[in-house]
Structure 1
Amino acid sequence: MSYLSLPRLTFSGLFEGDVNTVNNDVRNYSSSTFEPRFQEAWVQHPDGKTTYNGWWNPDGGNTFRLLDCAVSGAVGPDGAAAGDVALSLRIATQTARTAAKLVDLDPQYQFASGIWGLRLELTDGKRTLMAGTFQPACFRDVYFGRLTDKVTGQPVGGSPGASARFTGVLTELVWHEGAAASPVLAAFKASAEKNQGRLSLSLMTYGYSKSRGTTDFTFGRVLGTLAPWFSGEPLTFAPGRRFSPSIADAASGPPSASQYNIGYLNAAFAPGNTSLVVDFGMSLPLWLLPSGDKNIVDGQRIVPQDLGPIRVVVLTRADTVGADGTISTPIMEGAAVADSDYVVIGTLTDYGGAWLASTGGVVNMAVPEAARALVGDHPLALLIQVKGAWTVGIRESNGGQWARADDFVQRLDAPVKGWASSTVTLHAMRYGAPFAGASLAVSLSAPDDTSGGAGPDEVKPPQVKIPKINVPADTVRFDASLTADDRGVAVLTYYAADPGNPREYIDGQIYEINYALAGGGQSPLPMFEQVAVHVRDGFDPPATPSWETDVAPVLVQYGNLYPIMSRGLFSFSDYNTVVQHARLLYLAFTRPPEDPNYMPATRDLSAGKLRMIVNWLATFLPGAPGDYGALPVAKVGATLEPSAPPPVLGDVAVRRGSPGLRKAIRSMGHGTPVPPGVKA
């Protein structure tokens, strides 16, 4: 059940995502065409056009912080936590260490930004009762158009109007003896000791500001949920039941929300189906209230929209699966239902801003006996009143079936010759149970030259083309079909050879690997729910690196892209200055990638190029160790397994969105306005 388990702590507050945006545009990676203005903020013109330059935050440091966060709610092992010591605790992060980092996989894949190097503590102000390291995790379930301005009635565009969730595990746990005074913390400790020393942590973010010159610039709201993690569970999402919007138009692909603007959500039953936990935290649409609104609590202007009573039900008419895998769904999203069509599990009636902060939107409901007899093989649904009739606002995925990748963002060094391989774990579920024997289809997205650029309103674009991704296709190999084992787990093994620098001015290539349960029916996953792989170019470090031909091209590019370093620290393009700071650079380049001080922050440098730079820096540092510890070793090529065929091309079968819609959303670039005609 991951973060949906009991006991559970909720905390609320602010997050800072001071992302760098020069690297939002892949064309800015071209050192030969780079212009100084690309380190300046964009200019938005009265006619609606934009000179993007370095986009909206060119001097960002990729920092991620949790600020002013405190425990706002708790549910104990037995469902109660009144008076628990944990309710008085605050959240501290990065004690005696630099800020965590928030970075994209690549400028041409910006929909899986990851947090690296976050250390979280629960403290009473005098002592730390518990601390743990959040293992690198990327956001998913991006919900565009979640926030609506209540005055204008218009959705807030781009990332300020969106919401996303980071789910991962806390490791390297440290406990103070005072934690024993809290039943919740004591239960956390006992669970972690039985489950590989891990707890589950999920961070839901919303209300992000990219308005330069304002006090909340690069800040947003965060709700954190801390709970036990159990061995065998996925690391980056909650298993269980999955509610997903229907697809009215198959060509448009999976939307962010249902026709009633209710987003994807997760739920899970406790053993015996006596209790159901539902995560409304990422699903309910939000209002941006005007100043002075009576619903503002503690200055918080973002609150859930009031949809009226929301019934959580199990439908009495079951979905059926044909011999060809086609799923028939007698009660779909948007259907008005009679009393005989469902059994009520629980009703949500009071869900304002204070409720969201105290619960994180995660609610436990006792399951009546009449519902328990159905939930094993009948779909769940949320009902809302539309024109006086109870109507399906969103429902469980067709046939209760869904599959999801765990380690879905990958960085892989290609060997100079031969093939390297990696694996992705896919979990298939049916009505919350492992879907043993499930068949999955896997494909490679079609070539795409629209990712990582600006929108149609662009003025003075960089003078270089946007490169294609997903090419060449013959340098990646994987099976087009997989079968889940008795645990509902299928392992995708993919192979990659040196892509040959197809993007020319930026290292490696991005490959988007799509997956879905075979057969028809709606996708229970959002549009950009894919396996995203950055295959780095094969590179053999020279025995004696040269500044001009080997080192400078790498450092100059980083200096162009990150003004906070090249302007705030020192020039990365000047030989004498770099040599003068060789020791500082040496320390940064030899940190493990999980360290917040690791360089480069984007973690996109191949092992070969990293070793080349470290070897060159070491020549200026007498006594520098020859063993670099965490420094990765370049891949040695292997023979391709004969069972790995060329990939199947195209993503239509797994419903990841039409090319037009994908292009429109990608062009939003972390916060540009939504293009006309696109609901995002």
Structure 2
Amino acid sequence: MSYLQFPRLAFSGQFQSDVSTVNNDPRHYDNATFEPRFQEYQQAGADGRTKTYNGWWHPTGTAIMRFANCQVTSLRGPSGILVTNPAQDPLLSCSVGNAIGKPSGKMVDLDPDWQLASSIYGLAVSLLKPDGTPLMTADYQSNPFRDLWFSRAQSQGDSAASAIFQSVLINIQWHLDGFDSPLLARLIELSEQDRLSIRLSTYGYSTDYSDPGFGYGTVLGAIGPAYLGQPRSFILGRRFMPTTQQHNDLASQNGIGCFSSWLDQDTASLQVDLSNALPLDSRYQVVALPSLQYAVLHNEWTAQDAEIGPDDYTAIAGVDTSQALQDQQAGIQSVPLTEEQLRLANQPLPLAIVQPVGVEGRAVVCVREALLGNEVRAEDFAIRLDPNNPDRNHQHTHIYAARYGQPLAGAALAFWAGAPMLDYSDTPADKTQGTTPRALLPVNNVPNAAIRISPAEPITDQAGRATVTLHGPESFGTPREYMDGQLFTITYNLAGSDPALQQPFDNFAVVVFSSFPQPGQDIDLDNPRWEDVQPILQQYANLYPVMSQGLFDFSKQAVADASAFIMRFVFDKPIEDPDQMPVTRDLSASKRRMLINYFQNVIDRTGKTFDRQRMYGKRCPLRQSAPPSEADIAATRGSLSTSKSRKGNDA
């Protein structure tokens, strides 16, 4: 929650997410039924509607994720005073950039069947002086987005979606010689374990090939101190949760989504993160809303949409629904409270946003805190388990519980495994006969009870936190056949009759890798043959034409062997490294071991070195492919709105 505390800096600009969309459809993983057209742009029929999805709207994506044209826009010092004049702090003349001398980060889905928790790997964050020299360089600790909201904007497909990335910056290096920033000095002093808290709100992503901003979107960022004992990936505070839906998203009747706030006792203020909360028009500007107020409801059972009288609530302040708040303060409103307002807000009573109606102080409750102020959220929720590596076949995580922003001690937690489900969302069907991929749809959440959680009935401690461990099976088959492993979804919440209302995708999503080799497979992991590694390399050559057609086709033995040094180099990278191969991070330990050993054996046999592979000198050049036709472009704008397309999905 630290980025909502003081001091903090806000920035805004653009992000580039050059996603590849061939692997959005899990059926494209089937080597036996893969067709060359799956590497081409989607096509439209004569009526302007999609005739065939092919490789969807961006088959030649490179997977990069990076900042573009991001400027520090405002500061709030330790006391919360807003600073926007560079004369008061030179940090306001600085920009936010990427890695210095390193490759760009990568956007990665957890799994093709779960494109609802995309992570950023290998992203570096820098603060740059006006001359481009760094004040700070740091690494973004990989973490998936949360609060994915598909229909926030009045547009279609991925362009309508919005989400929040929250994590911490680590490995921070400061270069402050001759640079006198009061805010940075205090920020460094307050942050614990040499970490900073960061939040990125992303929206307005363009999937229109004809748009000059294709592949870019808007990012609003905030950086603040990081403190021990606080979650790094979400705000454990006062959580506003709509109880109605719009287009399958939780949103109030006037279009307000779920969001978090923090009651700051030290500065007697309410810090409200509206960066992912307010509806947007087709230009990605905040929709004009009527006059709204923050309030404390006097009755904790008052429902959303209820009309209440002046004795039913205490107004606190007006809600800033301006575009200026988004642009200048990264969408975070700082609301000062009187002594009486702070006292009332500290009572076990819900905060709300209300809309005054008529006269005599009557109002309608637009959105309020979850019932009883309950909040339950897991720190790590997108998880990979690998039976091929005992050290990676379990993962610890923390589940936090709070009531009206205070830790909820002694709370019992419960878990519910997801039912078997076909992935209809990511497997659209073409109306023209013979154009839909022929592979069978994958079925998730089978076999039952594959994942064990310990303790099975955890209880939160005095800090409102329970530590749980997810365990994978000792061995695992191939229930999805042509895809490695399986996807499992597990819901968690308070046990008993008063659960917390949660955002729809706020559950555990777990991928369990298949054991490799499977029984009956004659494969020596230390001395593999070409026919052992070729199916894996073929799959990645199919899924990433930017590599196989733009760099080199490593599905062919002569090409792969000639590139043995660089292939071993990228397969041996750790998961956090942006150069790791495969970019989807979906390779089990045993398959990775086999590939590394294969290419090492080639190196030992042939003496291939990096110097002999100068073809790799240019990083991922794009193949020369014809752009989509006008009909294709028209279809791109809206064709995927009929399927569950994703915000910044897949790398």
* TM-score between both structures, scaled by the size of structure 1: 0.84
Aligned mates of 2:565, 2:529 — CA distance in 1:
16
Q: Deviations over 1:559-613 (max 9, x none)?
A: 0000000011111221011000111111111112111111111111011110110
8 A contact 2:401–2:408 mirrored in 1:
yes
The residue number in structure 2 matching 1:67 is 68
Offset, 1:666: 10
The residue type equivalent to 1:536 in the other structure is F
Secondary structure in structure 1 of the residue aligned to 2:458: strand
- Amino acid of the residue matched to residue 160 of structure 2? G
Q: Does 1:334 align with 2:339?
A: no
Which of the residues 426, 433, 438 maps onto 1:453? Answer: 426
User: Would you say the 8 A contact 1:52–1:454 is kept in 2?
Assistant: no
Q: How far apart, in 2, do the equivalents of 1:310 and 1:557 lie?
A: 53
- The residue number in structure 2 matching 1:177 is 176
Post-superposition shift, 1:475?
A: 2.2
Question: How far does the alpha carbon of each residue in 1:327-360 deviate from its partner, in whole angstroms, 9 at most, with x for none?
Answer: xx2x1111112111111222135x4323211111
Change (3 A) 1:665 1:367: farther
- Alignment match, 1:492: 468
Distance verdict in 2 for CA 1:157–1:665, change over 3 Å: closer
Structure 2 counterpart of 1:401, which letter? Answer: N
Structure-1 separation of matches of 2:22 and 2:28 = 7
| Displacement after TM superposition at 1:87 (Å) | 0.8
Query: Equivalent residue of 1:142, what SS?
Result: strand
Aligned to 1:647: none
- Change in Cα spacing, 1:543 to 1:47, as seen in structure 2 (3 Å) is closer
Aligned-residue CA RMSD in angstroms? 2.5
> Residue type of the partner of 1:463?
R
1:289-308 aligned within 5 A: 301-308=283-290
Report the CA distance between 1:523 and its aligned residue.
4.6
Structure 2: distance between partners of 1:428 and 1:417: 30
Check the 8 A contact 1:130/1:179 in 2, yes or no: no
Q: Which residue in the other structure is 1:160 paired with? A: 159
Quote the Cα distance in structure 2 between the aligned partners of 1:224 and 1:307: 23
* Contact 2:430–2:436 (CA under 8 A) maintained in structure 1: no
Give a deviation string over 1:194-247, Cα, whole Å, max 9, x none. x11110011000111101122111111110111111111111111111000114
- The residue number in structure 2 matching 1:38 is 38
Q: For residues 20 and 137 of structure 1, what CA distance do their matches in structure 2 show?
A: 20
SS of alignment partner, residue 278 of structure 1? strand
Change in CA separation of 1:165 and 1:416 when aligned onto 2, cut-off 3 Å: closer
Q: Distance in 2 between matches of 1:72 and 1:418?
A: 44
Are the structure 2 counterparts of residues 234 and 259 from structure 1 closer, same or farther at C-alpha, using a change threshold of 3 Å?
same
* Residues 1:502 and 2:479 are matched in the alignment: yes
Q: Report the counterpart of residue 378 of structure 1 in structure 2.
A: 349
- Residue 219 of structure 2 corresponds to 222
Give per-residue Cα distances to partners, 1:87-139, cap 9 Å, x unaligned: 11111202211111001011000001111111111111333111211011111
Aligned to 2:364: 391
Shift of 1:420: 3.5
> Secondary structure of 1:473's partner?
coil
Provide the rounded CA distance (Å) in 2 between the counterparts of 1:418 and 1:177: 40
Q: Does 1:574 align with 2:556?
A: yes
Kept after mapping to 1: 8 A contact 2:425/2:644: no
Residue 520 of structure 1: CA displacement? 4.1
Question: Structure 1's 623 and 359: CA in aligned 2 closer, same or farther, altered over 3 A?
Answer: farther
Question: Counterpart of 2:531 in 1: which secondary structure?
Answer: helix
Pick closer, same or farther for the CA change 1:623–1:167 going to 2, 3 Å.
Answer: farther
Query: Which whole-Å CA distance do the structure 1 matches of 2:179 and 2:491 have between them?
Result: 46
Alignment deviations for residues 400-431 of structure 1 (CA, whole Å, 9 cap, x no partner): 01100111111111148999422221111111
CA offset at residue 555 of structure 1?
A: 0.4
Q: Give the Cα–Cα distance (whole angstroms) in 1 for the partners of residues 358 and 41 of structure 2.
A: 48
Q: Is the 8 A contact 1:406 1:426 kept in 2?
A: yes
In the TM superposition, 1:11-410 aligns within 5 A as 11-45=11-45, 46=47, 48-80=49-81, 81=83, 82=85, 83-126=88-131, 127-148=133-154, 156-178=155-177, 181-192=180-191, 195-247=192-244, 255-271=249-265, 274-288=268-282, 301-317=283-299, 319=300, 329=301, 331-349=302-320, 351-376=321-346, 377-385=348-356, 389-410=362-383
**CA gap 1:471/1:390 in 2 versus in 1, 3 angstroms:** same
Aligned equivalents of 1:141, 1:209: Cα separation in 2 = 20
**Of 473, 485, 489, the match for 2:448:** 473
Report the CA distance between 1:178 and its aligned residue: 3.6
For the 8 Å contact 1:113–1:138, the answer to whether it is kept is: yes
Provide, for residues 524-550 of structure 1, a one-character-per-residue CA deviation record: whole Å limited to 9, x for no partner.
322111111111112257245434431
2:295·2:316 contact (CA, 8 Å) conserved in 1? yes
Residue-by-residue CA offset, 1:371-391 (whole Å, 9 max, x unaligned) = 223223110001124577521
8 A Cα contact 2:388 2:590, kept in partner: no
Partners of 1:18 and 1:64 within 8 A in 2: yes
When structure 1 is superposed on structure 2, of 340-349 and 381-390 the one drifting more is 381-390
- The within-5 A match list for 1:640-655 is none
Q: Which amino acid aligns with 2:43?
A: V
Q: Which amino acid aligns with 1:347?
A: G
Question: Distance between the aligned counterparts of 2:448 and 2:357, measured in 1?
Answer: 48
What does residue 508 of structure 2 align with? 531
How many residues were matched structurally?
598
Alignment check: 8 A CA contact 2:386 2:392 kept = no
Structure 1: where are the runs of 5+ without partners? Answer: 149-155, 289-300, 320-328, 626-663, 673-680
Matched, 1:588 2:593: no
Q: Structure 1 residues 307 and 514 mapped into 2: Cα distance closer, same or farther (>3 Å)?
A: same
Q: Any conservation in 2 of the 1:303–1:352 contact (CA below 8 Å)?
A: no
The letter of the residue matching 1:108 is D
Structure 1 pair 543–270 and aligned structure 2 pair: CA distance change class (3 A): closer
Q: How many Å separate the matches in 1 of 2:548 and 2:49?
A: 32
> Is residue 168–residue 226 contact of structure 2 (8 Å, CA) maintained in 1?
yes
Percent identity among equivalent residues? 37
CA contact (8 A) 2:242 2:258 kept: yes
Does the 8 Å contact 1:109/1:452 carry over to 2?
A: no
Residue 670 of structure 1 aligns with an amino acid whose one-letter code is: R
Give the letter aligned to residue 259 of structure 2. L
* CA shift in 2, pair 1:35/1:545, >3 Å: farther
Deviation, structure 1 residue 144: 2.0
1:279 and 1:109 map into 2 onto residues whose CA distance is 26
Single out whichever of 411-420 and 568-577 deviates more from structure 2. 411-420
Q: 2:413·2:458 contact (CA, 8 Å) conserved in 1?
A: yes
CA distance 1:57–1:374, change in 2 (3 Å): same
1:234 and 1:50 map into 2 onto residues whose CA distance is 46
Query: What is the DSSP-based 3-state SS (H/G/I as helix, E as strand, rest coil) of the residue aligned with 2:281?
Result: strand
Question: How far apart, in 1, do the equivalents of 2:513 and 2:261 lie?
Answer: 38
Give me the whole-angstrom Cα distance separating, in 2, the residues matched to 1:530 and 1:44. Answer: 37
Equivalent residues of 1:9, 1:226 under 8 A apart: yes
Task: Point out which structure has higher relative CO (alpha carbons under 8 A, 6+ apart).
Answer: 2
* 1:410-425 map, 5 Å: 410-415=383-388, 420-425=393-398
Question: Whole-Å Cα distance in 2 between the matches of residues 570 and 253 of structure 1?
Answer: 43
Tell me, in whole angstroms, the C-alpha distance in 2 between the residues paired with 1:519 and 1:220: 42
Residue type of the alignment partner of 2:443: K
Q: Does the CA contact (< 8 Å) of 2:293 and 2:317 recur in 1?
A: yes
